Amino acid sequence: MSPPFDYGDLRFTQPAKQIKAFNMEPVPQRIFDDMRKYEDSRKGFSSASRMLRKETRVLDTSSYPIGQKTQVREYYRVSTDPQVQDIERITYFDLESGRTISSFRPIAGEDWRGVWRGGGAILAMDLDGSEFFQLWRYWEDSHCATIIPSIDTELNNSPGGRIERLTHDSFKYANLVVSESQKIMTFTSNKENGTDMLVYVTDLTNSQTGAAADSKPFTLPSKLVTSPAENSISRWSVSDISLDDQYLLLINNLSSSYCPCYIVPISGGQPELIVLPNATEKEEQIAFHEPTFSRDPTNPHLVYMISDAYGDFLSVLAYDTASRTVTHITSPEPELRALRPINWPCSSLHVSSDYLYFRANVDGCTNLFVLPFLGPQTVVEIKPQWERGQFGYHPNTPNGRPDELILVLTSHLTSAALARLDLQGRLDDVGRDENGGAYISVPVTRYRQTTPVPPDFSTMPAKSLRYKSFDGLEIPCKYYHPTDGKSAVPLVISIHGGPASQATANTRSPIHCAGYGKRFMAADDVEKREDSVRDIGALLNHIEQSLNNELDSTRIAVMGGSYGGYMTLACLIHFPTKFACGLANFPIAHWPSFLENTASVRRSHRRAEYGDERIPGIREFLEKISPMNRTSEISVPLQIAHGETDSRVPVDQAILMWQSVSKNGVHSELMACEKEGHGFKQTSIIEFTNAAKLHFLERFLPVIR
């Protein structure tokens, strides 16, 4: 991680705790007051894991808890029965930082300290938003065979369960996977050399670590499964562990578009590359996602996976490792004879002994499908009865109910509400849509204790807007209008980051992103980087020519974060007369220094996407398009916000950009947020930066009343 930035003699104020403000006016209290009703409607639960102990309970996490205000994301426990209204908070510790829990993996228990600690979970968590996650153990004394005295490195989580630190270094730990048997756990880390993310395995039972049930800290022992490569960088992730605990399915995440899949023995050995027969795509253009072993003990050599090896979209496949044959489940190409061709990317694979579940991303909305293993090989769409949008799902497989799903619903009306969907008996009565596809319509029962209050202001669903860009490519975006297009209003163009991300039906949209096929996603790679900026130019022309009755083309702001922050700066440079102002969160301002200073575990992956600055011709191009070298072309007000512990885009990118724009006589503001990384996690900082953005727009993108 880069050393702290030396502000030297730069003058700043501190309008709120942990915020340095540069050239900013005080934010009026009325803005905070006006935001409150919006914030109340946005409080909701954002994810759920499957169990904490072997009982019908599910563990939930909330960014903005209902009925109480916490500084950071906390975890809660609720019954899977929606009629039970209890909710139990289990995390309480506050580190006064934007700490991030990237993984919360429930386990049956472990004996690392020579006694059985039942239930609980393993966490991957950083301390300050830097994303250098360490491993931690959450447990409750009531499920421990022997009460362990207070441990020296234990967090104060009273009155919740206890949290012990398991690793004690400055490396990164991630990708926790627990075997079906609950006997072993795998993770990835760069602890071997600081760069390669390699795979490690550790025993949960019969571990014989030598640690005692005392107050002394201990470091979790583990065995290296994959060795560093001699001439390349490894970015391994574990996707699954075989039923017999003998093999791992691994992905090597070399780039967004090249992610080969391997099988490797846990006992050690060379990873074996999975090569799909008759793949139509070049090897370096094939990605694998979520390969999962069959849960049928009579068919252990079957692997379910998602891959774009046969076309433009990520499709669901079944690969028999014994016969080396493929069954196509959703591949849209007619000659492949898939069980149900789906011309959209698929994700979120879940395999049980009874069902295969997956999602399809249909123009930013979620469609959910199930393939029952008993009966005819029919892929059935599950249509929850709600307003439609994005949702995640969690089958209650660990408690013997794979036909019970916990959904996390997000739409223009709902901010991350949990709901229960029960398939029991539903698959006996399957309907057919106009294309002959099988489907069932299923009611959902919401968990009232996790449902946000309804907004007391008008909300409109997103419209899917498409327009032709400069090269004839059709560009999608999501379009929100406060009055459904009945009056011309100011416009904010919000550009997502990634860049391989997507604007969905629950978020507010650039360009060349995931969700529309890999060729679309690759349309702005390396030397074509500014093509995505030209796409925004085409959008501006489309607004002027086709939407002038709905949108005021003289009052447009642009905003975005990370890569979207770069796009914000680039738009202000390329279209100086089209925008009234811009707001950039943790933006990439100088490509070569960004690539040189981003976290070492990310660097090779980012070079594959953006270009390798070590190559003279590529460096010359990256210098040419870097906003830092073109600040004289920015002529409208700019606001920047950045976290000081950001390990992806170092904070000096924002500070130097702000300094340069300000020296040119253009109004520029900067917020540097202490103990926050790439995206803000503390409620007080989120609320202040959001209020500051509104105040900025109020002054530079005024609404004519």
- Angle of helix 683-700 relative to helix 29-41, nearest 10 degrees? 120
Q: Taking Cα atoms as reference points, which of 154, 148, 139, 162 lies closest to residue 113?
A: 148
pTM: 0.90
CB count in 10 Å sphere of residue 472: 6
**What's the one-letter identity of residue 670?**
L
SS3 content of the chain, % helix, strand, coil (to 5): 20, 30, 50
* pLDDT for position 600: 85
SS3 49: strand
d(C-alpha 222, C-alpha 238), whole Å: 15
What's the distance, CA 329 to chain centroid?
Answer: 26
Beta-strand pair 101-106/88-89: unpaired
The type of residue at 38 is: Y
Cβ-contact 65, 39 below 8 angstroms? no
Residues 6+ apart with CB under 8 A from 334: 341
Q: Name the burial class of residue 36, with classes exposed (0-12), middle (13-18) and buried (19+) by CB atoms within 10 angstroms of its CB.
A: exposed
Q: Provide the pLDDT for residue 520.
A: 43
Token pair, residue 60, equals 């939930």
User: Residues 106, 120: contact at Cβ < 8 Å?
Assistant: yes
Domains of the chain: 13-39+454-700 (3.40.50.1820), 225-351 (2.120.10.30)
Helix (H) / strand (E) containing 29: helix 29-41
| CA-to-CA separations, 266 to 222, 302, 305, 484, 542, in angstroms, rounded | 12, 18, 20, 56, 55
How far apart CA 161 and CA 91 sit, in angstroms, is: 7
Residue 334: how many other CB atoms lie within 10 Å: 8
**Averages of pLDDT over each 10 residues, the chain, 705 residues:** 78 96 97 85 65 46 54 86 89 90 93 96 94 97 94 95 97 97 97 96 97 96 93 92 96 92 92 96 95 94 97 96 97 97 97 97 93 94 94 89 92 85 94 95 92 76 86 86 82 77 43 45 57 92 92 94 95 97 97 92 86 94 96 98 95 96 98 95 94 97 69
Over the range 403-417, which residues count as b (16 or more CB within 10 Å of their CB) and which as e? bbbbbbbbbbbbbbb
Q: At what angle do helices 563-574 and 531-546 cross, to 10 degrees?
A: 60
- Do residues 391 and 420 lie in contact, with contact meaning Cβ atoms separated by under 8 Å? no
**Closest to 625 measured CA to CA, from 553, 555, 534, 547:** 534
Asked if 237 and 197 touch (Cβ cutoff 8 Å), the reply is: yes
